[in-house]
Each structure stands twice: as C-alpha cells, then as structure tokens.
Structure 1
Amino acid sequence: MAATIITVEDLRDFKIDLLEEIKKIFQSQTTTQTKKWLKSTEVRKLLNISPGTLQNLRINGTLSYTKIGGTIYYPNQDIDKVLENNKVNANP
C-alpha cells in the first residue's frame, strides 16, 4: 500500500474548493425557497411601507395582486420587477 503525501497547499486548495461548493448549495437553496406569493404584511415589511402606501400601489396598478377571501397575495416576481424598474443608478 503506497503512502500519499498531502501538503499544506493541497489542504488549502481542498478548503477553497469545499467552500465554493458550500456557497453554491446555499445559493441554490435560497433561490428555491423564495415564496411565489407574499401576503400584505410580508410585502410591507419587505418594502418598509405603510398599509396605505401598499394600497396606493394596488390602486394605481403598480403591484398586481390576487384576493382570496379577505387575504391579498402579491406575486414575488412582480415585486422584484417594481424594485428593478425603480432602481436609481449611483453613477456620477
């Protein structure tokens, strides 16, 4: 049985590869765990807005929504679009 010598550099390379793989796993899990629909309270917390502001976003058509019973649901994809469309570039 032949002995294999592992150097400190080999261990560093292994550590870097392992950390990259762990990062990929976490990134894939966070994207798959994102909820498709958010309730009003979740949207208000996410955007840090009042109930009245959220109502105005519904009324003027900025945010689409679905109402089931007394609960209003907002598509997470639409919220991302609104944030992206209103992004201000920091370039001078």
Structure 2
Amino acid sequence: MRCANPGIATEVLDSNQVMIRVIDNGCGMTEKVRQKMFDPFFTTKPVGSGTGLGMSISYKIVDKHGGQLKCITQPLEGTEFQLQLPIRSNSY
C-alpha cells in the first residue's frame, strides 16, 4: 500500500465531485476485518469495551448522499479511507 503521510486531504475531482482522504500510519487491518468493517455491530474490541467507529453508519450516510466510501489497507502499513461525494446532492 502507498501509505502517505497521515492526515486529511480534500480535493475536487471534477465539477461535481469531491474526495476526502483520511490517512493513518497505524497497524492497518487484515482482509478479514476490512470485509466486515461496514457490517452493523461489528467490532474488534472485547465485549463492553466500546462500540467502534460507527463505520456502518458512516457508510449509510455517504451512500444516502450518492457517494462512495472505500477503505485501502494492509497489515503493518496503515489505512486510507476515501470518501467520494457529489458537490450537490439530490437527496435533500
């Protein structure tokens, strides 16, 4: 994976779309975890230790606005979330 410097970057892709990239340089995640991370109630934490980041809710919000949410990750190499959203949405 091309783990860039950690942080948040925003770019206009064209006259109708913007991309927000959230990048970390943490431990990344396995393919098994990545495949389940948008499932409701999925967490890697022990029972009673919190509810996670709300990735299922985040996915639904992005989808509702006509966008896409992607996760690029590899163990030991960090994670990048890409949120691609229309600049104007017809859903509101």
- Higher relative CO (Cα under 8 Å, sequence separation at least 6) belongs to 2
> Structure 2 length as normaliser, TM-score?
0.25
Q: Which has the higher helix share?
A: 1
The structure with the largest alpha-carbon Rg is: 1
> Structure 1 length as normaliser, TM-score?
0.25
